[in-house]
Amino acid sequence: MAITLKITVTKPEGAEWYGNSSPESPVIINQILTWVETLPGFLGQKNQTLDANTRIQEIKFDTLENYQNFRELRLTNADWQARLGYNNSVGITAVVEEIVGS
């Protein structure tokens, strides 16, 4: 059964999104997106901007096992961790939902 990770990300007014925070950050964002697409069971991802301070990212996998593999691998992915570290440092928060069977 497919599972989707839905991440709603909110930044403080005046903070920069990671992709705008440095000259190399857009390259790193693209590396993250490409890396996720190479993982076993990846079915798709979409990104949506709700307003200047809120974005939603959805990443979909075919099985719970492949989804859990992604969750573990991102803990050691340097690019993912760089973005997470930046987000934490400027007060960007995330609400995570796991949607099964979507």
Write down the pLDDT at residue 75: 92
Give the domain range for residue 29: 3-100
CATH of the domain at 34: 3.30.70.100
CB-count exposure of residue 48 (10 Å: 0-12, 13-18, 19+) = exposed
Q: Which amino acid is at 94?
A: A
Q: How many domains does the chain have?
A: 1
Predicted structure pTM score: 0.86
In angstroms, the CA 46 to CA 42 distance is: 12
One pLDDT digit (tens) per residue for the chain, 102 residues: 899 999 999 999 999 999 889 999 999 999 999 999 999 999 999 999 999 999 999 999 999 999 999 999 999 999 999 999 999 999 999 999 999 986
pLDDT score, position 102: 61
CA–centroid distance for 71 within its chain = 11
